[in-house]
Amino acid sequence: MPSSIARIPTVNGSRYLQQLAKHWGHHFKVDFTPQRADIDFGDSNCRLDAEDDALIVKVTGAAEGFEGLETIVADHIQRFAHREPDLQIPWRREA
């Protein structure tokens, strides 16, 4: 299964993590604390880790539609981070 990771520079990592976890918790299995979240989308998953100066995001899923998974996760993060319009989500594929 392919996976990608992004380190997103922000001091609001914990806030975004909790917002995303609560949002996706209405539709998917989510386990979270203020510092870590695991979201099970069924055929893919997302791991969020909040640091003092960044939000670390790792997505893993089936090869088919994987770029779409990255896009969906990034779009949701940017929606919650609307006060940080220059927020960059630099995905890096893992081997």
Distance from chain centroid for Cα 36: 11
- Alpha carbon of 79 to those of 20, 62, 73: distances in Å? 10, 25, 10
Q: Does residue 93 have a pLDDT over 70? A: yes
pLDDT band at 95 (very low <50, low <70, confident <90, very high): low
Can you give the pTM of this predicted structure?
A: 0.93
CATH superfamily, with its number, for domain 3-94:
Alpha-D-phosphohexomutase, C-terminal domain (3.30.310.50)
Q: Can you read off the two tokens belonging to residue 29? A: 């299995």
CA-based nearest residue to 16, from 94, 89, 90, 79: 79
Edge-first strand order for the sheet with 36-40 is 29-32, 36-40, 44-50, 54-61, 3-9, 92-94
**Domain extents for the chain?**
3-94
Tens of pLDDT, residue by residue over 25-67, are 999 999 999 999 999 999 999 999 999 999 999 999 998 889 9
